[in-house]
Structure 1
Amino acid sequence: MKKNYSVQSLFQPFTLGSITLSNRIVMAPMTRAFSPDGVPGKDVLEYYKRRAEKGVGLIVTEGTVINHLAAAANPNVPYFHGDKALNGWAKIVDAVHEAGGRIIPQLWHVGTQRIVGQLPNRESLPIGPSGVNAEGIKVNEPMTEQEIEVVVGAYAQAAADAKRLGFDGIELHGAHGYLIDQFFWEQTNRRTDHYGGDFIARTRFAVEIIKACRLAVGPDFPIVFRFSQWKRRPFTAKLVETPEQLAQFLLPLVEAGVDVFHCSTRRFWEPEFEGSSLNLAGWTKKLTGKPTITVGSVGLDEEFIRFFAEGKGARNVNIDGLIERLEREEFDLVAVGRALLVDPAWVDKIRNGCVEELIPFTHEASKILY
C-alpha cells in the first residue's frame, strides 16, 4: 500500500473548549471489558497510555457505567463510580497526560439492552422509557419521573467526578440503542407524557442530562455527545429522514449545552441523505455550526458489523477520501476504532508515511489489550 496523499490536515491542532488537541485524530470508544468488578487496572492504564505516547490527539475511553444498578450488562466493563474504580481512572488520566495526551470518559447506561438476570447486579431489572426492548418485548414497567431524576443525577455526578479527576471533558453515549437513545427512538419510547411524543419531544431526557452535566462541570468543560441513526437492533434504523428533521432534532441538544457531536456511522464515506455527499458528521456541522467527529471503518476495508456477525477481520486501506473531506472542513475530528485497537502506533505510522507497517485488524485482536 503506497502513501499517495498528504496527511497534513490530520495533524493540525484543534481547540475544544478550554483544551487544545495536538491533532485531529480521536481514539474511538470501544468496549474492551478488561476491568474485573468494574475496576480498571494497570493493564488498562498501559493500553490507553500507549495510544497517548504514539500521538493520538484525544482518547475517548470505552463506555464507563454511571452509578445506577442497572447501568451495566457485563461485570468486566469499567465503572465510573466508587472509590476503587475512580482511583483507577485517576491513575489513567495522569498517565495519559504525562504522555502528552488528552482523555475523556464515555458515560454510559445500557438501558433495556441489559438482559434480565445479567451480571453485575443480577437482581436489577433493565430500565427504559417504556420498559420495552428493541424487539418490543416488555422487560419492566416504564421509568417513573422519579427514576428518570435519579438517572439524570447519576450522569451529573459522573460528569463532576470526571472534572475532579482531571479528565479533559466527557462524552455522553446517546447512540446505538442504549438508554439515552431509547428515549430518542419511537420503537422504544412510547410514552405519552413530556418525555414522549414526536422526535423533538423525545429529546427531553437527553436535554435534562446535558443540562445537569453542564451545571456540574461549568461553562468551559467540553461535553461531547455521541448519537447515531443506526441501532444494534436493527442496523437500518433511522431517527430522522431529512436534513430538516435532523436540524430540529439537534437544536434542543445544542441549546442544552453540547460542545461537540460525535456522529456514529458504520461507514464514514456513505452519504446520510439523498442529493448530497455529506455524511452524518458533515450534515450535523452544517446544520448546527458545532464541531463534529466522524467515525466508521476509518482505514479499514470491512465494517465492524461483519466483525461481529462473521468474526471477520479487516485489511488496511488508504485514507485519501477521509482527508479530502477533512480538507473541505466537512467535519473537524476523525475517530479511529479497530485500526487503533490492534495497532497502538497507527497515528505515528500514518504521520510518518509508514503505511506498509500498519497491522491488519483480526477478530483475535478484540481479545487482547495491545
Structure 2
Amino acid sequence: MTFEEVYRQEWGQVVATLIRLTGDWELAEECAQEAFAAALERWPRDGVPRKPGAWLTTAARNRAIDWMRREAVGAAKLREVAAMENDEPAYDVPDDRLRLMFTCCHPALAMEARVALTLRTLAGLSTADIARAFLVPEATMSKRLTRAKQKIQYAGIPYRVPPAHLLPERTPAVLAVLYLLFNEGYSDARSSLSDEAIRLARLLTQLMPDEPEAAGLLALMLLHDSRRETRVSADGVLVTLEDQDRTRWDHAQITEGEQLLDATLRLGNPGPYQVQAAIAACHATARTAADTDWPQIAALYGQLKQTPVVALNRAVAIGMADGPAVGLKLVDELAAGPLAGYHLLPATRADFLRRLGRSVEAADAYREALELAATEAERLYLSNRLAQIS
C-alpha cells in the first residue's frame, strides 16, 4: 500500500478520533498532519507498520495530549480525554466511514458547509480540491471551512451519530458528500475514491431501502463507472464519450445501474440523482455515439435545478441535438457568470467552434481551457485538439 493510499484510507478516521477526544477541529487536523508528516519521514526508513492506522492514531493522539499539557489544560482535562477514549457509544450505522459522515453532516450547519467539512475531514481532500468542486476560489472555501469549525466549537455542536430516526435529516448532505467523492476520483482517475464512494452508496441503500435518492445515486455512479476503463488512453490522454470503445464498457454494471434506476423511478418520487442517472443511462445504452438520444438528454437536464454546471451540460445536449451554432450561443451566455475560470466552459466553446469550422477562435478557446485544466489527461487531450486545428 502506497503512502497516498494510506493517507486517503486513514486520514478521516484519525481526524475523527481526535475530534472526539479533544472537541477541537483545528487541533485535530493539525495533530493528524503532524502524525502523517512523521510517518512520511520514518516509514521509508523503518518500514510501514503492520497496522498503519493504529500507528497514525497513536502518534496523533500523543501530539494532542502533549499540546494540552503545554497549554496547561491540566489533569482534569486529560482524565476527561482518557474517559472519552474508552466511552465508545453504540452507533446505528454499521460502517465506520459512513457513520463518521453522518456524524459530520450536522443539520445546524449550512448544507455546503456540512459537505465541504466532511470532504476535508473524512476524505482528506484538499481545500483546493473542494473549492474546485464548488466552483469558488480556494481562499473563499478556506474561510467557509474555518467558519464552520468555529460554529461547531462555539455552539457546542456534539460530535456523535444521531439516533436512527434522525438520520434522514442528514441524508441529503451525506449523499452530496458521496457524489462529490465519486466525482473527485472519476475526474482525476483516482479509482480508489470512486470505488469507496460506490461501496458507501451500496451500504446506504441497504441502510435506507426506502430512500429513492440513495438508490438513484448508486445507479448514477455505476453507470458512469462502467466507462472507467475507456476514459483515458494507454498514453494517458482523455478519451471523449463519442470516441470511447463501447465494447469495453462494463455492461454488467450498466445492467445493474439500469435495474436500480427502474426500481427507484417506479416509486414516483424522482430527485436530482435519479434524473442524472437517467441521463447517464441514455449514454450507457446507446449502441453508438450517433444513436445517443440528445433531445431526451436535453429534456432531462431541463428537469434539474439550473446550476451553472447543469446549464452548461444542458447547452451541450441542446447543441448536439440542434446544432453547434445553437449550443455555442447558449455557452456564450454563460461566459460572464460563475463558470468563469471553469475549464470545461472554454473547452465546450472550443468544441462547438471547431465543429463550426471556426478554427482560429477554437484554438484560442482551447488555449484558455488548457491553462485551466486540472488533470494531465485533460491537458493532453486539449493539447492534441489544439494541434489538430493549428
TM-score, normalised relative to structure 1: 0.29
Structure showing the higher strand proportion among its residues: 1
TM-score, normalised relative to structure 2: 0.28
Highest CA radius of gyration, 1 or 2? 2
Structure showing the higher helix proportion among its residues: 2
